[in-house]
Structure 1
Amino acid sequence: MTDLLQVLPDFDTKPYTHLLPSLDKSLITTNDLLTLDAADVGKRAQLPPGELRKLTDAVVSGLHRGLGFGGEEAAGNAFLAGLGHGDASQSEWSCISTLDETLDAALGGGIPRGYLVEVTGESGAGKTQLLLTLLLSSQLSPPHGLAKSAVYISTEAVLATSRLAQLLSSHPALASLPPADKPSLSRVLSIQTPDLESQEHILRYQLPVAIKKHGVGLVILDSVAANYRAEFEKKGARNGAASMAKRGTQLVQLGALLRELARTEGVAIVVANQVADRFTKPPSAASSNAVSRTTSSNSQGNGRDNTPQPTNPASQFEGSLVLSPDPLALDHQQRWFTGWGDMQYEPQHFQKTPSLGLVWTNQLACRIALIKQPVFSNRPLIHTVNGEDQWNEEENHISKWRRWFKVVFAPWTAPSDGKGIEFEIQKSGIRHVAEEK
């Protein structure tokens, strides 16, 4: 069963070491074990059916736990132990607030414990501002926080402590608190992971110890894509398929590790993710001509004036978005799992997609997309040439940026409508923009 640790990366194989070599030799996969009768598998691998049934039950239980059901009693005891040594009063639903009521309402209360949540967006969309706010609000008492410390794991820039201090002194919900209740920078643990090897070691071995030792309620990984891009995109195209397969396996293992940690320790795990431009080719002229010829022949045959009907279901959406004619590209499904793809957006914002692909998307419980859009000014620009200011009447320039907070998917709340909730970044933090009536 060479694929067992790919399906269940954290599966305990020690009780079944006497079975696995024979299963590997007989080319028995995890799928075979789950779908075939134990007697048939035992005959093929020369193993006792009773022992194989025990292994099958353990694999099924592991799959159930990974999906969030099954083994509720054991998971509940571990969850409570991670929260407060069995304090049942803390087992109720609790969230970490964004310190903005409208954004919290979109999230169904905030960022809950026990889930793996992603915040994705372009550079400058506001990811860091949101994450820094969560680092402070997690220290607040319920219902705005968990009254626990936070861990910030960085794969890129160091923790912006100056911005944290600015939020503490200027945010209305934080500055007005008495000193004893105010969050502290000393309760934010900062760790840097320069490569995948150190990231794996920190997440698998050091982080669980830190959670228990320091009473951590929130873990932030910023960003999840940086080390994977540095590791796999530098190898070139010659071994691209092998690199993608290896990266996919590591992403599945990372997702399983973080979900299990969030569930058993009762912490909220939030990861930041980058986005990439998505390029698709327009339908070829040949295919367009084929559609025209087919339509023309149908019109001549039935005597009716039939208008051309697109064969690509993705092209049935309104708007000018160019979608790939290949149904396996999943372009027509982008709106439901990436946050981009709704027809209300400006055309230049269609072709964005979160990094690490669909494999990583399947590891998440919730995705939050922060979308930014430029506002162009028609006022002329002033250029300095040879020390003299000259007016340029022909060019527009970006006067400001508009930003939206969008819940793409989550099991505890509904997705946001349209673009989501517009917000702005101020010295005092992030806050929603009230709709004009």
Structure 2
Amino acid sequence: MTDLSAVLPTFLTQQYVRLIPSLEKNLITTADLITLDCVEIAKRARLPVLDVKRLCTDVLQALKEDLGVAEKDGGDGQQQNARGLRKSGKDLLDQWDTISTLDDDMDRALGGGIPAGYITEITGESGAGKTQFLITLLLSAQLPSPQGLGTPTLYISTESALPTQRVLQLLRSHPILSSHPHPPTLDKIHSIVTPDLESQDHILRFQVPVVIQRYGIRLLILDSVAANYRAEFERDGNGTTNVKNGMNMAHRSAELVKLGQLLRNLAREHGIAVVVANQVADRFSSQGSSWPMAHAARSYNAGRNTSGGTNTMPPNPATVASGVHTPIPGSPLNTHTPAPAPAPTRPNPNPYAPFQTPDPISLDHQQRWITGWGDDPHPSYTAAKSLKTPSLGLIWTTQIACRVALIKKPVYGRVQVMDEEGERGEPVLKRWRRWMKVVFAGWAPESGGGLSGAVEFEIAGEGVRACRRGEGGAEDGGEEGRGGEGLGL
């Protein structure tokens, strides 16, 4: 019963003052009052059954009113359901508003676009295209339905100011924005810079609700959510990393839960779309090697064992590239023992064997389904070494409704170089390939393992667009977006 004031702060307890001490003494909670039988509660607390029944009825009615599902009498004397949680399917569809990315393939992967009323995270490395993606949403949200919400937008930056030059470039060159009868404008983008965590909390808690109501804003972008938390909790006063940061991490987790609750309340109460950008960090396994790395090594060793080898060591990238395996001095590979006869190959009865680890409930095993990296069932050795994970950890992951990962990979070419030894080819970076991957969402299917279901896109001068066959994107080795290569902020 001690949690009644927390569950229902507005519940009037004056008429039940004599019952509360006995209920608290017997550890009867609010959940017990609405789930257990009144006779059982009266026996445990040694109270009159009628008084307990009256209290349970009032608590249940107050809880319904607080949730918005209480039944009220209409003017004609009939019971009418209050508009709250009880909504028909048509009501839910009518309230389902989304913001388009202005590309059909990307909208299809996102289940129609970025929905209002939820927190959506856009995560990726530097240069993957996060800021370009967010700028597109800032402009498309100003368009009328079905492409946008027809309202102004709010951009909160924790690192650098809004790139207005890029915004103006998109307004002039994007085919949809430039030709729309009601084009968006830079004047309808409200921008705020928060240099530290204290100002960020004050702005989100007090200033943002006022701005939303005053200007009718329905898109809130926070770019990025991790910057101030990294600066506040991962560095000490001297600017160096704090080794003994256990208390800092606990405090950071509590602050992240508060931030998630605050953003969710803003999204639900005002019907706005909350989109946050997040940074990524290199992933290190607690067991010394991540699952994809170990699986890549096992795949390599399995191939060698099939041909009669006895190698159990991870492969050397240099020897793998040359196709020659050099034994390690002092290893069993140097002993001249006859190779055993190859065992007959049998079909694997368990198709999920590559996904099995010694501890399937560990974070190393589970995070491949919540981070966007490491879920490729057949990773290359290079890909297994460059795994990423979104910042702020598992605590922040539980606060968001959708995670979209922007993944980039380099494409190398060769140039001919002349030196004293003659002409040779050296690898050089030609361009970047980028993919949009839906990691998890309640309204759209996940993209799947690796990049098989992800949407490849390019950053061009006229905006972000999906790559299609024969358009100079990923298939024919064309240039990355014709001038958009340097725009992947």
- Range class of TM-score, shorter chain: 0.7 to 0.9
Change in CA separation of 1:374 and 1:189 when aligned onto 2, cut-off 3 Å: same
Is the counterpart of residue 198 in structure 1 residue 204 in structure 2? Answer: no
Is the counterpart of residue 274 in structure 1 residue 279 in structure 2? Answer: yes
User: Contact (CA 8 Å) 1:381, 1:397: kept in 2 or not?
Assistant: no
| Aligned 1:148-187 pairs, distance under 5 A | 148-178=151-181, 181-187=182-188
Q: Percent of aligned pairs with the same residue? A: 50
* Aligned-partner residue type, residue 360 of structure 1: W
CA distance in 2, matches of 1:187, 1:43: 61
CA distance in 1, matches of 2:456, 2:189: 29
| Aligned 1:127-138 pairs, distance under 5 A | 127-138=130-141
Write the deviation string for residues 128-177 of structure 1: whole angstroms up to 9, x where unpaired.
Answer: 00000000000001111110000001111111111000000000111122
* Aligned-partner residue type, residue 202 of structure 1: I
* Aligned-partner residue type, residue 219 of structure 2: L
Change in CA separation of 1:16 and 1:156 when aligned onto 2, cut-off 3 Å: farther
User: Contact (CA 8 Å) 1:154, 1:221: kept in 2 or not?
Assistant: yes
Q: CA deviation at 1:356?
A: 1.1
- State the match for 1:371 in structure 2: 407
Write the deviation string for residues 9-33 of structure 1: whole angstroms up to 9, x where unpaired.
Answer: xx774648999x9899999999999
CA distance in 1, matches of 2:124, 2:43: 50
* Aligned-partner residue type, residue 333 of structure 1: Q
CA distance in 2, matches of 1:4, 1:393: 78
RMSD of aligned alpha carbons: 4.5
CA distance in 1, matches of 2:211, 2:370: 32
- State the match for 2:215 in structure 1: 214
Is the counterpart of residue 333 in structure 1 residue 366 in structure 2? Answer: yes
* Aligned-partner residue type, residue 276 of structure 1: A
Aligned match for 1:405, one of 436, 446, 461: 436
Q: CA deviation at 1:34?
A: 8.9
Write the deviation string for residues 277-301 of structure 1: whole angstroms up to 9, x where unpaired.
Answer: 111234799xx9xxx9xxxxxxxxx
Aligned match for 1:122, one of 112, 120, 125: 125
Q: CA deviation at 1:324?
A: 7.5
User: Contact (CA 8 Å) 2:8, 2:62: kept in 1 or not?
Assistant: no
- State the match for 1:144 in structure 2: 147
Larger Rg: 2
- State the match for 1:317 in structure 2: 354
* Aligned-partner residue type, residue 370 of structure 1: L
CA distance in 2, matches of 1:157, 1:382: 43
Aligned match for 1:74, one of 70, 81, 84: 84
- State the match for 1:83 in structure 2: none
Is the counterpart of residue 428 in structure 1 residue 434 in structure 2? Answer: no
- State the match for 2:326 in structure 1: none
CA distance in 1, matches of 2:2, 2:243: 27
Q: TM-score scaled to structure 1, two decimals?
A: 0.73
Q: CA deviation at 1:315?
A: 9.2
User: Contact (CA 8 Å) 1:95, 1:110: kept in 2 or not?
Assistant: yes
Aligned residues between the structures: 385
Q: CA deviation at 1:378?
A: 2.7
* Aligned-partner residue type, residue 130 of structure 1: F
Change in CA separation of 1:64 and 1:329 when aligned onto 2, cut-off 3 Å: farther
Change in CA separation of 1:253 and 1:377 when aligned onto 2, cut-off 3 Å: same
Q: CA deviation at 1:61?
A: 8.9
Q: CA deviation at 1:427?
A: 0.5
Q: CA deviation at 1:264?
A: 1.6
User: Contact (CA 8 Å) 2:414, 2:425: kept in 1 or not?
Assistant: no
Q: CA deviation at 1:423?
A: 0.3
User: Contact (CA 8 Å) 1:324, 1:331: kept in 2 or not?
Assistant: no
Change in CA separation of 1:394 and 1:4 when aligned onto 2, cut-off 3 Å: farther
CA distance in 2, matches of 1:173, 1:335: 36
Change in CA separation of 1:253 and 1:29 when aligned onto 2, cut-off 3 Å: farther
* Aligned-partner residue type, residue 184 of structure 1: T
Q: CA deviation at 1:94?
A: 2.4
* Aligned-partner residue type, residue 342 of structure 1: D
CA distance in 1, matches of 2:42, 2:249: 32
Write the deviation string for residues 274-327 of structure 1: whole angstroms up to 9, x where unpaired.
Answer: 111111234799xx9xxx9xxxxxxxxxxxx899xxxxx999327xxxx97554
User: Contact (CA 8 Å) 1:96, 1:111: kept in 2 or not?
Assistant: yes
Aligned match for 2:250, one of 245, 252, 275: 245
Q: 2:234 is paired with a residue of what secondary structure?
A: helix
CA distance in 2, matches of 1:431, 1:108: 17
- State the match for 1:105 in structure 2: 108
CA distance in 1, matches of 2:221, 2:170: 18
* Aligned-partner residue type, residue 272 of structure 2: V
User: Contact (CA 8 Å) 2:416, 2:424: kept in 1 or not?
Assistant: yes
CA distance in 1, matches of 2:438, 2:278: 14
Change in CA separation of 1:403 and 1:390 when aligned onto 2, cut-off 3 Å: farther
Q: CA deviation at 1:204?
A: 1.6
Farther off after superposition, 337-346 or 35-44: 35-44
Change in CA separation of 1:52 and 1:394 when aligned onto 2, cut-off 3 Å: farther
Q: 1:166 is paired with a residue of what secondary structure?
A: helix
- Gaps spanning 5+ residues in structure 1: where? 66-70, 78-87, 293-304, 308-312, 384-388
- Gaps spanning 5+ residues in structure 2: where? 70-80, 237-241, 299-309, 311-342, 476-489
Write the deviation string for residues 233-279 of structure 1: whole angstroms up to 9, x where unpaired.
Answer: 11413232x22222222212211221121112111110101111111
